[in-house]
Amino acid sequence: MQTHPEVFGVDALAAKIRKIPNWPQEGILFHDITPVLQSPQYFRLLVDLLVYRYMDQKIDVVAGLDARGFIIGAALAYQLNVGFVPIRKKGKLPFNTIAESYELEYGHATIEMHTDAVKPGTRVLLVDDLVATGGTMTAGVKLIRKLGAEVVEAAAIIEFTDLPGGKKIRDENVPLFTLYQNSGSVDLFQSPVE
């Protein structure tokens, strides 16, 4: 088997994430995971790292937050051989829904999920790409709990340690697992030149 040692670590994965200053508005340093998704090696590394964490845990379903959580969550659910539940922005789901509103680092939003997405007692893994203020993920936790299900853990690629999101999620008595932690407002690693 051929290996590519530069691909095998979390630091290499984090370095593949592109940083875009002042997007979607002034003062935001956006962390773009599309370079990870575009690379077969890095996308596999991302999914494999999460699969290894959760393969021996009793997870009934993976719930992914709109929209990058859909990509990661669906791939993870497939590998774990469990179902996938999308938690979408308001007005995007066609069946009966429940909703939860929350604040973002640059505005406010509402997410929804189908009322039949999970049943009481379902063990849910909640997935997104990053944790900043924690608003989206906390709203997802509340939706899942409204339907009587249990959030086993919340997972993301990055946690911004200079923002309160991680603490906010943990204060909801939800364990949070992230592959990489950094200050969201400071570029701690160089983006690869391409």
Catalytic residues: 68, 105
d(CA 93, CA 143): 14
Locate 119 and state its tokens. 């049943």
Q: Are 10 and 180 in contact (CB under 8 A)?
A: yes
Structure tokens at 131: 């944790």
Q: How many Å apart are CA 132 and CA 183, to the nearest integer? A: 10
Measured CA to CA, the distance from residue 94 to residue 64 in angstroms comes to: 17
User: Which residues 6+ apart lie within 8 Å of 67 measured at CB?
Assistant: none
Let me know: does 182 contact 188? Beta carbons within 8 Å: yes
* Cβ–Cβ under 8 Å, residues 146 and 178: no
Please answer whether residues 138 and 102 qualify as being in contact, where contact means their C-beta atoms are separated by less than 8 angstroms. Answer: yes
